[in-house]
Structure 1
Amino acid sequence: MTHNFANKLGQGGFGTIYKGKLRSGHIVALKVLVMSKANGQDFINEFATIGRIHHVKVVRLVGFCVQ
């Protein structure tokens, strides 16, 4: 749940990052992409890279969706 995207954490090159909370209680960061700035391959590359990184200072990719 994002509380209507009220808790903005930051702005990136391809979109805005918000704080959210899953039903399980886990706190997550949600990135909302601006599709006019990112093509499909950029999206795939970014999330493939994030999915491979495992570091204490980098958030873990839980999933993504396209609407």
Structure 2
Amino acid sequence: MDTPTNWRKSSYSGSNNNCVEIADLADGGRAVRDSKSPGDGFFRFTAGEWSAFVDSVKAGEFDR
């Protein structure tokens, strides 16, 4: 299992350091980590899991 190297922060991230970074994986999935603690590891998602998450966000399922 390789560690991703192409990390990027969301353009929606503000200057308050409450950010996550994502990286594309070779198999089409994504990895997610805390930008304040990148050495603490990351979560790995398959392409299907990531797509379902993005669709849920777009549908407003996580709105307060």
What TM-score results when the alignment is normalised by the length of structure 1? 0.35
What TM-score results when the alignment is normalised by the length of structure 2? 0.36
Query: Which of the pair has the greater relative contact order for Cα pairs under 8 Å at 6+ separation?
Result: 2
Higher helix share: 2
